[in-house]
Amino acid sequence: MNKYTKIGLTALAGSLVAGSVSAAEMSVSGSATMTYTGGDEKATLGNGWVMGDSVSFSATGDVNDFAVTYSVELDGTTGVDDYSLSMDFGDAGVLRFDGHGGSSFLSANDDVMPTASEEPWDVITGGDTSVINGHAANNAFKYTYAHESGLNLTLTYINAADAENDVSYSDYGVTYTGMEGLTIGFGQGDVEVTTGTKSDESTLFAKYAIGGATVGIQKSEQDNESSSDLESTGIGISYAVNDDLTISYGNNTREKVGSDDQEAVAIGASYTIGSLGVAVSMHSIDNVNNTSSDDREGYQMVLTFAF
């Protein structure tokens, strides 16, 4: 989203956290989307049209020699939606607390393959049922550290809570971006949202960009103590035809012990005209959610207005 305005202001002591606050900067950004989904004959989609909207406010100030940022997102349906507080300690990294709407390393990197629109397993109902994505919940701590060599570390911790997860969750992730065009990442976490259903999840991915093309491959695993294990392999390639137009192809195979493989394929395109973005994608999934002969096709168009 593009910044709409920046306003310099003086913050009183205690505006962000207790301490001495020198000054703060506030930024406001927003977007609205119109999405049409169709083609999936087995899904209940109403008339196919859905609207999304959000306005985000962010205030950053110096508190006791380190930067503190408070962010909150509003949308037309729920009012206050995502909100977080982060503390930037400079060379020592950033500690962030997500009261609502945060992500762990695994949930943020469940599918990072290059695409002009949506992931291959998205859009069609049921295709995303068993995505290997760790866990994300409210009131989560996340620590990130970026070294000048291009080595980056992410640590996530979510304390146990009846409404979120029976057992405390943690994961870690390491990425390397020290070579031009190359991104390599690995993440691992133990998930036990419901007691007695523990799983060990991990993902490994690599992407390389050269010229207008970006190619990638990702391998994820979920080892379950009380149910069948899962593995997924994704590949993707995108090509920026020019500054405005991008096209892509993606494939994702999800294997479940004792069941047929889910095979998902998608082609997509996106085009930007000033603050208006248009993205379209066509999807085909065989054996949806590893269910034999449940083969479907679908498509989606998204209009995004950024301000």
- CATH, residue 12: 2.40.160.10
Q: Which domain holds residue 25?
A: 3-306
With beta carbons less than 8 A apart as the criterion, state whether 84 and 60 touch: no
Unique residue bearing structure tokens 């494939």: 251
63: nearest Cα among 112, 20, 10: 20
Structure tokens at 5: 């305005």
**Residues contacting 168, CB < 8 A, separation 6+:** 157, 158, 159, 160
Would you list the DSSP string of 132-171? Answer: ------SSEEEEEEE-TTSEEEEEEEE--BTTTBSS-EEE
The span from the CA of 113 to the CA of 217, in Å, is 7
Q: pLDDT value at position 157?
A: 97
Domain count, the chain: 1
- Predicted local distance difference test score (pLDDT) of residue 162: 74
Phi and psi at 22, nearest 5°, equal: -90, -50
- Name, in order, each residue with C-beta under 8 angstroms of 62's C-beta and a sequence gap of 6 or more: 21, 22, 23, 68
Task: Look up residue 247 and give its amino acid.
Answer: I
Q: Which burial class, exposed, middle or buried, applies to 186 when counting CB atoms under 10 A from its CB (0-12, 13-18, 19+)?
A: middle
Q: Tokens 């406001």 — which residue?
A: 28
Q: Give the CB-side neighbour count of residue 294, counting CA atoms within 13 A.
A: 17
Residue 237, CB half-sphere, CA atoms under 13 Å: how many? 5
- Whole-model pTM over 0.85: yes
Both structure tokens of 304? 């995004």
| Sequence-distant (≥ 6) Cβ neighbours of residue 79 within 8 angstroms | none
For residue 23, the model assigns a pLDDT of: 65
In the chain, the amino acid numbered 116 is A
Which residue's structure tokens are 């870690």?
172
Smallest Cα–Cα separation from 202: which of 166, 182, 173?
Answer: 173
pLDDT of residue 80: 78
Helix (H) or strand (E) holding 108: helix 105-108
Residue ranges of the chain with pLDDT lower than 50? 1-21
pLDDT for 210 equals: 97
